Amino acid sequence: MVDQEDYNQDTPMHLVCHNGYMEAVTLLHEYGARLDILDEDERISLHRAASEGQLAVGK
């Protein structure tokens, strides 16, 4: 369930990376969330973070 996609093929990891919620990124990662799932625009969650200027997520 941690990688459940919504109607835009966004996972919880896509959404928290997009918004820069570092604590949530860490928590999802600890629970095994994948970082390689593509959204409807064929971007992984780290690409989403970078496109929104959330560069701290990629560290």
Q: What domains sit in the chain, N to C, each tagged with a CATH number?
A: 12-58 (1.25.40.20)
Judging by beta carbons within 10 Å of its beta carbon (0-12, 13-18, 19+), is residue 56 exposed, middle or buried? exposed
Q: pLDDT of 2-58, one tens digit each?
A: 999 999 999 999 999 999 999 999 999 999 999 999 999 999 999 999 988 888 887
In this predicted structure, what is the pLDDT of residue 58?
A: 77
In this predicted structure, what is the pLDDT of residue 38?
A: 97
In this predicted structure, what is the pLDDT of residue 57?
A: 85
Output the six-digit token pair for 25.
């990124």
Burial profile 3-40: b = 16 or more Cβ within 10 angstroms, e = fewer: eeeeeeebbbbbbbbbeeeeebbeebeeeebeeebebe
In this predicted structure, what is the pLDDT of residue 45?
A: 94
